[in-house]
Structure formats: structure tokens, C-alpha cells
Structure 1
Amino acid sequence: MLCCLNPDCLNPQNPDGNQYCHSCSTPLIPLLRGHYRVIKVLSDEGGFGRTYLSEDMDKLNEWCVVKQFAPKVRETSALKKAVELFQEEAQRLQHLGEHHQIPALLAYFEQDNYLFLVQQFIDGQNLLQELQQGITYSESQILELLLDLLPVLKFIHDRGIIHRDIKPQNIIRRRSDGRLVLIDFGSAKQLTATVHTQLGTTIGSHGYTPIEQMQDGKAYPASDLFSLGVTCFHLLTGIRPSKLWLQQGYGWVNSWQQYLHNSARNGTALGDKLADILDKLLQIDIKKRYQSADQVMRDLKNQPSQLPEPSTLLTDSTTIYSPVPLKLVNQKLKKRLLINAVIVLLALGGTWYLQYIPQLITKSSKSSYQPKTLKGHASDVNSVAFSPDGKTLASGSDDKTIKLWNPVTGQEIHTLKGHFEWIWTVAFSPDGKILASGSKDKTIKLWNPTTAEEIRTLKGHTEGITAVAFSPDSKTLASSSLDKTIKLWDLATGKQIRTLEGHSQPVAAVAFSPDGKTLATGSWDKTIKLWDLATGKQIRTLEGHTKLVLCVAFSPDGKTLASGSKDKTIKLWNLATGETIRTLKQHSDKVNSVAYSKTLNNVILASGSNDNTIKLWNPTTGQEIRTLKQDSGYIYSLAISPDAQTLASGGSADNIIKIWPLSYF
């Protein structure tokens, strides 16, 4: 097989002998730079390009890994910074690859307007894969891990490199000799380099990243040692540190041993020696933590110091971090703590953004009600939607599938497959005959929800589909896209009616008014636009949000529009005047979804946020009615059943959907 090197190709595998890709018609390259035969895609680098498994034909078909750099970003400054990061990774590998437990850099070159980096292929499994296969780590295995990896950390730290992202996924057990290999230096930084780049991101992974790296973007050898300690905890207990971190912030590390005792993997205490070492690795206060790999190895081996104590990299002016649970951290610090930003330039159009740690909810005891959980997706749930009769719930996921559920029993009815990339949005037609799904693969698919068969595929957008909405008469579909446009489709023919242009950034949300005469669209350009559907002309632009607009919803009477934003607020707009009625400010992170429900007695507005909460509001008074809190994770999408009795939420927490009975609240 031969792999197409067009990073946007949806089906890049080609049989030998093809000159052009059967999927995208791109000319195929039999040997990259005359040496490397690219065989298959190993991973998509989230907007940077792709990583491929390849053969080096000059080395008796030896396996190697080819990283392609093809950032989908147009902004000059962002592109320049992305190129710099890729070049820095090559330079790091060139200097570090001499160590036998770090992949060697084999080549770095440009071809056909793309940059390529070729690395040594490590044959083996990473430690997360071992965990997922049920492997249990004993105390002796953790000791062996530390003795194997600490010399590697000493090697990189002595050369002024901080890895910044040590976790089980980035540690591979080499099949040939069982040694551990540290991979993925794409997040590493020179010790003296500033981390707060013009794109404003921190680097690391939820739960594994120490507080100094998460809060201020500063990393030291002791920062990698904290991540190593968390990795040991994960391997011993099987408990994901990210889940504990989202629930408690850094408070969980003060009582980490209780999770060891309670774990089904290991019911006995560690020996005092290893427990003390892990305690010191997991100190929140960096000054109380081990400062070097040498110090840890000395304690492991019970050897007296043969080296002078290294001076801490912290100065007298450096902030000291108090090891206390998140709920006791002062309010100012809470606001400054930052969740790791993942580089997904394709999905975010070159914007690296910051998330804030969710705050603990202490509202009424009813917020502790445990909702029903629907399990089945293998990745994040980005969108949920009820059918008009309320008997079916649809969900779209990063696992490229749509699932149909019975919301009463929680049973899965169908799984719909056909998209090649993440599914970002799903919606039912008001007559219940069609389910629409929009994907990162730039297509919209229409499905028969009864038979689970695909009706047709709508193509026309040049970037991923962010949202879809049906007109009240079920005759028209509106779609919004990262390509900055909105398209209207005739559902009877599948043909485009028109394209609406006017936003200067990707369009994230779209909604029809109840009378079907007006369309509202929300964009990353911080504005909301209202469109006359009869003419396709703009009616007005609503301005007031200070960051990306991520969701919009019309009130049942069509007189008010609600919008949610990355600025952590919800705005209610008077559609007759275009003025803001009020701003709701109780969320502590970006608002991903808003939805109205109406009963005979009242109207409720629901909002879902990255702060791990759903809030119910009285839109007339602006008063918060209730806060519903998930166990962990972001909330990406909300849907309220037609009878206003049930709320469904989808997000990043364990790839599940929650069903909340609104009548309870």
C-alpha cells in the first residue's frame, strides 16, 4: 500500500501502482525524498499535519516515522510561531537522539511546500496501552520504571531541556529489550525560553502538569519530576489523574495514598521507601519537591550524595505555591490557574485558547442529584439532540459515529457510521423524518432515523461543519462552517439555495427563528448576525461579546436571542432593537451551549460550560435557578426534550451523555 501525502485527504490509503490518489486525485509520491516509502497514517496532528509509518528503502526497508508539517492557519504570526515550534522539535531531537532511550532524528527537509521530520520508529506499546490491557503495576515494577527513566530525565535536563508532558502515553516499552523510551518532544522547551508566546498557551496534560507550569507557564527539572510522580500514581492505581484534577484541582495529591488503598488494582500499602519518594515527587510546592533526577536516584539507591546539592531554579521573587486543596486557594489564584491548551489549529483556526479550572458548586443539595448515564461512545460527545416526539436522543462524537438512544431506558438503538472525521453537530428535523450531522470532514449527512440509513451527503463547505439547524417547516437546512460561511440547503433536492457571507472568522452557531423568517449566526469574530431568509440579506449585527461567540438560541416567542461566548457570559438580546437586555455572568469558563425550554407556566434557559456545570436561568429576571454539576469534564452540548421534562448533556467526561429530569429541579 502507498499513502497519499495530502494532509486533507479523507482516505489516503492507495494500492501499489496508483499514480494518483483514488480519493483526492493528488499525485502520489512513491519515495519521499527518494528514500522513504510512506505506508499509512499513524495520527493526525490536530491541524499541524500528519504522522506516518514509513520504510527507509536505503536501510533494507527499516521502519521509521515521518512527521509532516502542514498547518491549517492563515495568520502570519501564528504560522511563523508554528514553523518555529516544528523546527525546534527537530533541533531537540538532533541533540537528544544520541541517547538510546530517545528516538533519533534521521532527517529534516522540505518537499512540495511541506516540511518533513523523520524519526526512528520505536516498536512497542506505550504504558497507557498496557494499562488499558489490564496490566497491573506492582511496587517493584514502579521502582524499575523510576530507575529506567530517571537517567533519561537527567540526560535531557543536563542539556537544558524540559520535556513538559511526561505521561503514560509518551513512554513506550521497547519490544526488543523491554527498556522504556521517552517520546514526543514537541512540547519540550529550552530551559531559558519563555513559554508565554504570542499565541498565549501553556503546555502539558490535565492532572500530570504541576501548578507552576499550569499557572505561569514556567517549567523546571522539578516540573518533569512531578509529572513522573503522577505517572507512577496512574500506573499503580489505574485512576486517571485528569479526573481527580477536574474534581479537586491539586488537592488530590495531598491524599494520594487513599486512592492506592481503595484501588481495585492494589489493595496494599507501598513500602515506606517508595511511598516517601512518591510523596516528595508529588509536592505541590516546587521548593519541597525533588529538584533533580540525581536526588531521586540517590534516595532510591540509598546512596550518600557524591554531588553538590543543585541550587533551585527559583529566585527569592518566585511565587511559592501552597499545597492546599483547590477550594481553599484564594480567589485571585483560582482565576489565574489555567487548564492545558491542546494544539488543534484545524478545529480552532490557529487560535490557542486558555481554559479556567472549574469552581466548586455549593448550591442547593438538589444539585447533588445523580443523573442517568448513557455509555457507548469511544471519545468526546460534541452534540446531542432530541427527536420531536422526545422518544429518541441523537449524539455525535469525536469517534466519528452518531448514536441513537432511548432516553427513558438508556438503551442504544442504532449507531450511524459514514463520516471520516469528528462529528461536531447533530439535529432532527421538526417533522422527525431526517437527522442531520455535520463533521470535520466538511460534509453534512442526512439520515433516516427510523431505518438508520443514509439519505444523502451535502458537499460544498471548504472547512469543517460546526452547526446545523432545520427550518420550522422542515424544508430547509442551514449549516455553518469554519470556512466563515453559512449555507442554506433545499432538503427535497439536496441542492444549495444560497451562501451567506459576512462574518470575518469561522461561524460556530446557527439557529432559525420560530417563524422561520430569520436566521441567527454566531461567529469567532465576536458578533452575531441576523439574516432575512427570504432575501439572504443581513438585518443587523449584534455586538457586545468580547471573545468568540459559540452558541445561539431563539426564545420560544422569537422576541429574544440568547448567546454564549468564550468570554464566559450569556447575553440576552432584544431582536426588535438589537440591544442587550442583560448579561448573565455566573459561569467561570466559556459557554458552549444554550437552550430554551417552555412549559405552560414558565420559560427556562439552560447553559452548559467548560466549568463542568449546567446552569438553569429565569430569562425574564436573569436569576440563576439551579446549578447542575457533572462529575468531571467539559459540557459541550445541551438539549431539552420537547415536553421540557428532560435535559441531556454531552461533553468530555468519560465519553458519556447525562440525562437530567428537569421536573426534579
Structure 2
Amino acid sequence: MTAHTVKGASRLRTWAVRGEAGHERQPDAPASTRALHDFPVRARALLGKSYGEGQLPSTLSPDGTTLAYPYDEVPSGSSFNVVLQELRDGKPEHRLVDLGGPKRGSAEALAFSSDGRTLAVSRRAGEGRSAWSIDIVDVAAGKKTRTVKGTGGHWLALGGTGDDLVLVTSSGDRVDPRTGKTHQRALGTADLTDVAFSPDGQTLAVSEPDGIALWNHEATQRSGRLPGPDEVSDGQATRLRFSPDGRSLAGVVGDKRVQLWDVPSRRKLGGLLPGVEAELLDVAFDERGALHLAGDRVRSHTMSLDPNELADSICRRVHRPKNLTRAEWKQNVPGVPYREVCGGDE
């Protein structure tokens, strides 16, 4: 798994959240995180019109070697471009992909296919369904292959590979990237806040107001449901991320906390977990099952999900060798029955 964070005013740093040969770990990086490389980008592009100051609508290819983001400086009458920033022989190079006239608006969301060969770019020029469009890009050729009008969303997910791709949007649409055929509201009429495919492409997770709907790999049939947060005020989950084996799902709730689910049993794994002392921008699992959190002021925070390691971490956090009080347990491990973990008396 890879993640990227802003470094300074005009660079993006890419991190590996699993060990990768050939890259030396930085002295200040967490033990399970490796700084791979910096992508220089234009400072202006980092302002990210779509999601607010300081946030860039962008996406990394699954292998972490290609960063895609919109090129915001569009002179009047010229084409809108997306930048493909790539690493070749350890050095970053970029290509501009012409997506046509700027009247269709700037990018709201981008998504790579699992094989990294296809990129989808959702654009919006105003309000209403007719203002949305999606550009399909052949990454190797660096060319737009199709524009699908009348569909799009703040979140995209591409499932499948090669000629068997399926594209879904947070507007609830299902799109065939090859033909451009769109099934509007195929995922229902609910207000969706994120969509994500499992690593093997067999399960689609869709965040709805009252929980997470699970769909088959073609996004044509519901296969199950995961319960939502206990309190309606917590809001819907965003930044849905599957574990590498597809058995666990993580989501950010209320911009500050994390909910975990066990996908096979369709159950929540405990209550909401505290995130970082900042707005949570993304989460990712590594191959060992640990969860990595990134916030607007926190580069990377690692949260072990092993019960014994989690208990030890809590004991260290409260600086005591004896057992947690029931109040401390409820605060640190919400939704999990109390048990003695630190040794000694309460």
C-alpha cells in the first residue's frame, strides 16, 4: 500500500506502508513506514479548488509509481489537463494529458484501475447531473479515450482489469468505461459518501446514510450490509479502505475517528477508534494488518490492530502498570467488554 502527503509548499512525498526492497527507511519514519520519493508539483496546484485550501484531488497508482492530479493553470480557451507524474530511473518525470475544453470544469475525483492502466477523472462545471462528466484515460498512451457526460461524483472507484472494467460513482451510477454506457442510480438513490473495491475486485463497498452496502464485483447485485455508526450525529463513513486480504474494512467517521468492520461476518469490530489530533484525510492497511492514519497536520500514524499490542499501547498511554479503570477502558476501547489488561489492580 502507498500513501502521499504534502511536504512543504510544492512537494508531495510518497510513503510505503509495507517494506519494499531497495528503499532505505528514513530515521524519523515509523518502523513500518518507508519514505520512497518526493514528487515535485506546482505550488498552485496544491491549493486544490475541489476540496479546499491545502488539499489536492489526486490519486496514486496501486504500485505507487504514478501520481495523477489536475493541472489547475488553464488559460482562457485552452484545454484542461491532468498531470501524470512518474518515476523513471528514480527521477520524477511528468506528462500532461489533454482532457479537452475547460468548460466541463476542473477535477473533483480521480481513480486508477487495479492494474494502473486506466485512469478515470470526474469533472464538474456547475450544479445538476448535466454538469458532471468523466474522462477515461489510457495511462500508457497518455491519451483520453472517452468522455462520458451526465455522470460523475466526488468519489470514484474502478473495479476489474483490462476490458472488464466497471466504474462506479458516489452519485450512484455504474459506467462501462469501454462503451460509455451509464446506468444511472444503479446503486440506489441514497446520498453516498464513498465507494471502494476490495483488492481482488470481488466486493464493492458503498457508504450510505445508515451503513455500508456491499455489492458484487459487477456492481449489479447487493451481497450484504455492514452496520453504520451507533450515533446518527457521527455521520457517514468516508475514505473506505479494505485490508489486503479483503476481510476488514476501515472508514473515517466524523473526520476524526475510525470505524472497523469484519466483512465476512458483517459486523463492526468494536466502537469508533480515536484517530489523530487533526482532521483525518486518509487511512490505509499494510500487509501485516496494521492501520496507518494521515491527517492534515500528521504525516503518518500507525495503529496496530493486534489485541495484545493494542492493550499494551493503551497501558503505556495512561502511564500506569495497573489495570485500566472501567471509565478509561470505555474511553480508549469503546464498544468492547471490559477486561484486565495491564496487570495489577484497578
Distance in 2, Cα, partners of 1:581 & 1:542: 16
What is the CA deviation profile of residues 86-121 of structure 1, one whole-angstrom value per residue up to 9, with x for unaligned ones? xxxxxxxxxxxxxxxxxxxxxxxxxxxxxxxxxxxx
Superposed displacement of residue 406, structure 1: 5.6
1:553 aligns with 2:196: yes
> For 2:118, which of 473, 476, 481 is the aligned residue?
476
> For 2:274, which of 629, 632, 642 is the aligned residue?
629
1:607 aligns with 2:254: no
What is the CA deviation profile of residues 358-377 of structure 1, one whole-angstrom value per residue up to 9, with x for unaligned ones? xxxxxxxxxxxxxxxxxxxx
Contact 2:5–2:299 under 8 Å retained in 1: no
1:444 aligned partner = 82
1:454 aligns with 2:90: no
2:56 aligned partner = 424
Distance in 2, Cα, partners of 1:657 & 1:644: 16
Superposed displacement of residue 425, structure 1: 3.5
Distance in 2, Cα, partners of 1:463 & 1:397: 27
What is the CA deviation profile of residues 165-211 of structure 1, one whole-angstrom value per residue up to 9, with x for unaligned ones? xxxxxxxxxxxxxxxxxxxxxxxxxxxxxxxxxxxxxxxxxxxxxxx
2:13 aligned partner = 403
What is the CA deviation profile of residues 240-276 of structure 1, one whole-angstrom value per residue up to 9, with x for unaligned ones? xxxxxxxxxxxxxxxxxxxxxxxxxxxxxxxxxxxxx
Distance in 1, Cα, partners of 2:255 & 2:60: 28
Distance in 2, Cα, partners of 1:607 & 1:514: 22
Distance in 2, Cα, partners of 1:396 & 1:569: 31
What is the CA deviation profile of residues 129-179 of structure 1, one whole-angstrom value per residue up to 9, with x for unaligned ones? xxxxxxxxxxxxxxxxxxxxxxxxxxxxxxxxxxxxxxxxxxxxxxxxxxx
Distance in 2, Cα, partners of 1:439 & 1:625: 40
Distance in 1, Cα, partners of 2:41 & 2:67: 13
Matches within 5 A, 1:182-221: none
Contact 2:240–2:252 under 8 Å retained in 1: yes
What is the CA deviation profile of residues 529-549 of structure 1, one whole-angstrom value per residue up to 9, with x for unaligned ones? 2222332212563344643x2
1:435 aligns with 2:74: no
Alignment-mate amino acid for residue 445 of structure 1: V
Task: Kindly report the root-mean-square deviation, in angstroms, between the aligned alpha carbons of the 2 structures.
Answer: 3.2
Matches within 5 A, 1:16-55: none
TM-score normalised according to structure 2 size: 0.64
What is the CA deviation profile of residues 419-466 of structure 1, one whole-angstrom value per residue up to 9, with x for unaligned ones? 523243443334554222347666432122464523212343643323
Query: Which SS does the other structure have where 1:620 is aligned?
Result: coil
Find the structure with the greater CA-based Rg: 1
What is the CA deviation profile of residues 540-594 of structure 1, one whole-angstrom value per residue up to 9, with x for unaligned ones? 63344643x23211134434311225x3633223446433722521161232210
Contact 1:593–1:607 under 8 Å retained in 2: yes
Distance in 1, Cα, partners of 2:62 & 2:299: 26
2:157 aligned partner = 511
Contact 1:486–1:501 under 8 Å retained in 2: yes
Distance in 1, Cα, partners of 2:292 & 2:244: 16
TM-score normalised according to structure 1 size: 0.36
Contact 1:430–1:472 under 8 Å retained in 2: yes
2:52 aligned partner = none
2:146 aligned partner = 498
Alignment-mate amino acid for residue 630 of structure 1: G
Alignment-mate amino acid for residue 480 of structure 1: S
Distance in 2, Cα, partners of 1:582 & 1:498: 33
Alignment-mate amino acid for residue 558 of structure 1: G
Alignment-mate amino acid for residue 522 of structure 1: T
Identical aligned residues as a percent: 24
Alignment-mate amino acid for residue 509 of structure 1: W
Distance in 2, Cα, partners of 1:464 & 1:568: 31
Contact 1:564–1:593 under 8 Å retained in 2: no
Contact 1:438–1:467 under 8 Å retained in 2: no
Distance in 2, Cα, partners of 1:509 & 1:398: 26
Which of the two has greater helix per residue? 1
Matches within 5 A, 1:278-289: none
Distance in 2, Cα, partners of 1:439 & 1:564: 29
Matched positions, count: 264
Matches within 5 A, 1:575-614: 575=218, 577-579=220-222, 581-586=224-229, 588-599=234-245, 603-614=247-258
Distance in 1, Cα, partners of 2:219 & 2:86: 37
Matches within 5 A, 1:48-87: none
What is the CA deviation profile of residues 10-59 of structure 1, one whole-angstrom value per residue up to 9, with x for unaligned ones? xxxxxxxxxxxxxxxxxxxxxxxxxxxxxxxxxxxxxxxxxxxxxxxxxx
Cα gap change, 1:631 to 1:598, in 2 (>3 Å)? closer
Matches within 5 A, 1:74-473: 386-387=1-2, 393-396=3-6, 401-405=11-15, 407=17, 409=26, 410=29, 413-414=37-38, 416-418=40-42, 420=44, 421-422=47-48, 423-438=55-70, 443-449=81-87, 451-460=90-99, 462-473=104-115
Contact 2:247–2:262 under 8 Å retained in 1: yes
2:261 aligned partner = 617
Distance in 2, Cα, partners of 1:398 & 1:571: 38
> For 2:133, which of 485, 510, 516 is the aligned residue?
485
Query: Which SS does the other structure have where 1:455 is aligned?
Result: strand
Contact 1:559–1:576 under 8 Å retained in 2: no
1:645 aligns with 2:277: no
2:176 aligned partner = 532
Superposed displacement of residue 478, structure 1: 1.3
Structure 2, unaligned stretches of length 5 or more? 18-24, 49-54, 74-79, 126-131, 311-346
Cα gap change, 1:515 to 1:490, in 2 (>3 Å)? closer
Distance in 1, Cα, partners of 2:184 & 2:93: 37
Query: Which SS does the other structure have where 1:424 is aligned?
Result: coil
Distance in 2, Cα, partners of 1:510 & 1:398: 28
Distance in 2, Cα, partners of 1:638 & 1:491: 25
Query: Which SS does the other structure have where 2:243 is aligned?
Result: strand
Alignment-mate amino acid for residue 638 of structure 1: V
Cα gap change, 1:522 to 1:646, in 2 (>3 Å)? same
Cα gap change, 1:632 to 1:605, in 2 (>3 Å)? same
Alignment-mate amino acid for residue 541 of structure 1: R
Query: Which SS does the other structure have where 1:535 is aligned?
Result: coil
